[in-house]
Amino acid sequence: MTIEAAQVFVTSELAAQSPITRRAPDEAHYGRNSVGHSWDNGEGLNSMIVDGIYSRVNRAHEPTMGREFAGASLSEIADICLQKNGKSTAMASVASRVEMALHGTSDFPNILRDVGNMSLSNAYEAAQSAIKQTGREIAASNFRALHSVKVSAGPDLEEVNEQGEFKAGTIEEGAETFAVKTYGKIFGITRQAIVNDDLDVFSNMFPLLGQGAANTEAKLFAGLLEENTGLGPKLSDGKTLLHTDHGNLAQATSSLSVTSLGDARVAMRRQKGIAGEAINVIPSFLVVPPELETLAEQVLTEIAASEVANANPFAGKLKLLVEPRFGSTTAWYLCAAPGAPDGLQHAYLDGVAGPQLFTREGFEVDGIEYKVRMDFGAGFTDHRGWFMSPSA
């Protein structure tokens, strides 16, 4: 279906229906049906248009169902939205048709919102924090403090005696907490930009906001580790996350090498649980600043050694993560996989991950106002899954 055909189709179908039998756009039953809606009208047509317009915003996007709308201007899309809602565009100027579509129908603003949301979300996903991979996502249903769960008497099962007596263990809330907070920004797209078919806000502003949301998370993750001069946040025992009493802080002379990684791995393997039980923490990630990236790659590189002494025991066993927001150029971290044990956690309100986009008719802005909002929080709940070397 071409743009012109879509306009003619919508007009003819509306004209063929009497005022009594005319269906609402989302109830239309014409054309190619797919799981409850038509691709030729209603939400199906909107999805096609969004797919087409997004290919103009992101040249790397290859349109599929919306190829015929890939060359459409925003004013042409406004015409289609007006006509499928039974509104005549005859004798109306481009500016007046755009204004009618913005204020007289929800389809056109919703289409622009969905295009913006695709641009925002794709940029957000592409700019994810390296440290985020080391944490576990948990549920948050409100903005109250989130507590971790700990087994206070150890997780091991104990032998039941001849009297059939089971020993009790207790599960309690951990003392470490963090809370979800709200981050956001408001901006607008003017009516003039839409009339001029200006897609810069979709190709530039929305990706920047998506990257900004990811950067907001990344700064929070890096900032947690850099609290208290790089020793991390204070935990409920009054000590910092990284502390000699926690058995997870190397000596200052421990520069990055196979030997120092071996020492760090031993320290993590020797960590004890709350009841003093061995928990065998297995390191999975090596986290470094950019200054140590090349050295870290060398340390983790697999070597085809002819002698056992020359083999690299860490080849293929650790994933390298580089964090450019670290202030230190020498400190490096070894950490376990998320939840093994729990260390770093993060949460989104009601499980809605990433930034969300909301729209309303502009008042201070002559056009559409957009609000980008993200409800997010992160914090450390235990020290046992992390090890840090401040290095020389």
Question: Which residues does residue 184 pair with via DSSP β-bridges, in sequence order?
Answer: 373
pLDDT of residue 223: 97
Look up the pTM and report it.
0.80
- Examine residue 318 and state whether it is found in any structural domain, yes or no: yes
The per-type count for the chain, helices as H runs and strands as E runs, is 10, 13
Structure tokens at 4: 């012109």
Say which residues have a Cβ less than 8 Å from residue 378's Cβ, sequence separation at least 6.
Answer: 135, 178, 217, 220, 221, 224, 344, 345, 346, 347
Question: Which residues does residue 348 pair with via DSSP β-bridges, in sequence order?
Answer: 139, 376
Same-domain check for residues 221 and 166: yes
- Examine residue 362 and state whether it is found in any structural domain, yes or no: yes
Q: Which of 55, 74, 105 is the last residue of a domain?
A: 105
- Examine residue 113 and state whether it is found in any structural domain, yes or no: no
Say which residues have a Cβ less than 8 Å from residue 287's Cβ, sequence separation at least 6.
Answer: 130, 131, 134, 321, 322, 323, 332, 333, 334, 335
pLDDT of residue 315: 77
Asked if residue 341 has a cis previous peptide bond (ω within 30° of 0), the answer is yes
Same-domain check for residues 59 and 202: no
Say which residues have a Cβ less than 8 Å from residue 298's Cβ, sequence separation at least 6.
Answer: none
- Examine residue 123 and state whether it is found in any structural domain, yes or no: no
Same-domain check for residues 244 and 314: yes
Same-domain check for residues 199 and 315: yes
- Examine residue 118 and state whether it is found in any structural domain, yes or no: no
Domain of residue 228, residue span: 128-392
Same-domain check for residues 174 and 303: yes
Quick: pLDDT tens for 96-113. Answer: 888 888 887 778 999 999
CA atoms of 42 and 44, how far apart (whole Å): 5
CATH code for the domain in which residue 189 is found = 3.90.1690.10
Same-domain check for residues 142 and 14: no
Same-domain check for residues 39 and 150: no
Quick: pLDDT tens for 169-185. Answer: 655 556 788 999 999 99
- Examine residue 122 and state whether it is found in any structural domain, yes or no: no
Same-domain check for residues 227 and 362: yes
- Examine residue 117 and state whether it is found in any structural domain, yes or no: no
- Examine residue 120 and state whether it is found in any structural domain, yes or no: no
Same-domain check for residues 85 and 132: no
Alpha carbon 242 to chain centroid distance? Answer: 27
Residue keyed to tokens 């320290």? 267
Element (H, E) at 181: strand 181-190
Mean pLDDT by 10 residues, the chain (392 residues): 53 43 34 40 84 92 92 90 82 86 83 93 95 95 85 66 71 77 91 88 89 96 96 95 96 85 95 86 96 93 52 82 96 94 94 91 78 96 94 66
Q: How far apart are the first and last CA of the chain?
A: 67
Same-domain check for residues 100 and 216: no
pLDDT of residue 250: 94
Structurally, how many domains does the chain consist of? 2
pLDDT of residue 171: 57
Q: Which of 72, 105, 138 is the last residue of a domain?
A: 105
Same-domain check for residues 175 and 43: no
Same-domain check for residues 225 and 92: no
